[in-house]
Chain A
Amino acid sequence: MIFLKLILTNLRRHRIRSFISVAGIAFSVAAMLTVVTILQGAIGMFSGILSSDSEIIVFERNVSDLFFSNVPAAAVNEIASWPMVLHADPVLFGVVSSADHPIITCFGVTAGDARIRKATWIAGDRRTFAQHADDVVLGERAAEFLGAQMGSHVPIGHGVFHVIGILKTANGFEDGGVFMPLSSAQSFFHKDGMSSVITVKLRNRDDATSFKNAVKTKYASLIALEDAEFNHSYSQFRILKATAWAVGGCGLILGGLGVANTMIMSVFTRIREIAILRVNGFSSMQIAAMIFGESAVVSLLGAVLGLLTGTCLLLILKLVPALHGYVDVTIQPVVMLIVVLLALITGIAGALYPAIYAMRIRAVEALRFE
């Protein structure tokens, strides 16, 4: 109890300094939580597009980005005809811009595609999809920001398209996207006869290995991966995840430097007090434990405050109309745990030098210290 009080007393003694340290950790934690959650949400959404009513994705081997993947129509047709395949849907991804909107994702799909089939059609009829080359279906949010309604004509990229439907999906990318007939998308993006990926649903999931081997044997330039494998190995996802953790990590390092500064000041301003504790029997390890205890309290308070701030920030971002559907505020417990652990480790690392310094204080000299 006294030990805890010694820890808390010092933090209370310099409230502003302690608060700044707590705030430093809190902002770092909030930044890490927000960035990681947003990027993981984005990854989740993108992988959700790919795994829509499918369990395997086929794309061009060794491409770093699916937008650059080219899968020939012949492969699509042949794979779709394999007995083990229930359905194989080609999807062509493209990105265009329009006035005020630098990035609009386009999906070139067939009429039977799961994205078209399973979405809620707010306006229009699914059966009319892909009947004319300039027909498009907009996601609800895309319709909103393009100011488009059912039947209107909207400029997208270098073309003008006729809106024949508006659909609502839970996926932010899809909700903010444009669905074109596959052939129109191939023409629009100058990829005649190509798709970016084939999403495949097997009759029997146990055939996944056989399917992957068959693709490997038949098409040396293509690769088939199960959804989980793809999520784990896709370089864009890995880059995004690494970026998220790196950004957060940099924040935490800054927070850790704040803690280190606080703890150094804390030790320097109470050298005499530490000497008194030493004279009264505190071992050097107990002194170190006290310093680490202080930094742990700062880090924990910072982590809690950071988690609250980060969560609030994510909720606010979710309310921003422009980001609607793009921000997934579901904070994964494992992310929370890692962030808190990193904050603690940062705090403890920040207290390392001050603790060593405190352990080495010579009581006899320190008692003369004013």
Chain B
Amino acid sequence: MSEAPLDTTTSTQATVVPPTAQRNSGLLSTGVGRNLGLVVALVVLCIVGAVTAGDTFATGPNVLTILRLAATIGVVSIGMTFVITGGGIDLSVGAILALSSVWATTLATQQMADSYGWIVMASTALLVGAACGLVNGILVAYGKIVPFIATLAMLAAARGLAETISDRRTQIVANNSFVDFFGGSLIGVPVLVWIFLLVAAAGWVVLNRTTFGRRTFAVGGNAEAARLAGIKVQRHTAALYVLAGLCCGIAAVMLMARTTTGSSTHGQFYELDAIAAVVIGGTLLSGGRGTIVGTVFGVLIFSTLNNVFTLNNLSISAQSVAKGVIIVIAVLLQQRLASRTTSS
């Protein structure tokens, strides 16, 4: 059961790659090579974990812990994959998550949840997330503000608003049915992990099999060509940020369940973790090329690394250094692969 999530990702990959192989031998080498590198990295990490902390690392409960921790940042990263593939960037994800969690745990919201059920809290978080995303989208697409600046402003504003609403206090989730549902398990796998899987699967389908996904690649790859081909570039760009905001809302629900709190300090540095996961997964920071499978691997690699370090009683600071090194190696490898395939 502990391997179920991993199996799903590898099997999706397996079904994706063969058609690519027939279509284009040039891209095949990048596609397989890149994902192969990620698989190898993950396996190496697991081996290191098993050797250094075998008795605790290679246990079912520990694997579930890794996955549960991966789930929240994973959902944020899926949204980020869309934004980056579409040629943008979203620095405000962590702040939006914090604001969503705070708004969904105010006294008023929780009182409503008492009469109408936890769905009120969940949908509040989702709505707040999507609304923040919409503001981002409008600023970027219609206000023509560069994404970096627009979302930086949102980062500051959303966290500030979260502090104002919560008065900088941590708000406890009092609704037991909420904690019970999201904190529970389904067929032995935590609900949080299921949500991550669902979001990742949906993200993959949308990005690779729908007009929305195709337009995302077109807008990110060449916005001018997309516009002249008749694609509504502005509307699509706005939609990408809404999607990212929605993912933050979902992640807020997940974090509220895990910590049983809503707080303006939730989601600190999530933007950096998400961007790192997306980029080591193989999505181009300049847009036009993106991979959900890669992002999922990126997230798993970082959370496994986290786990291995924690089990070995290594400091958070050491983890950060290792993370930095991994990002650099991953990007260097990618560039090597990319230049090899373009010159052939």
Q: Do A and B bind each other?
A: no
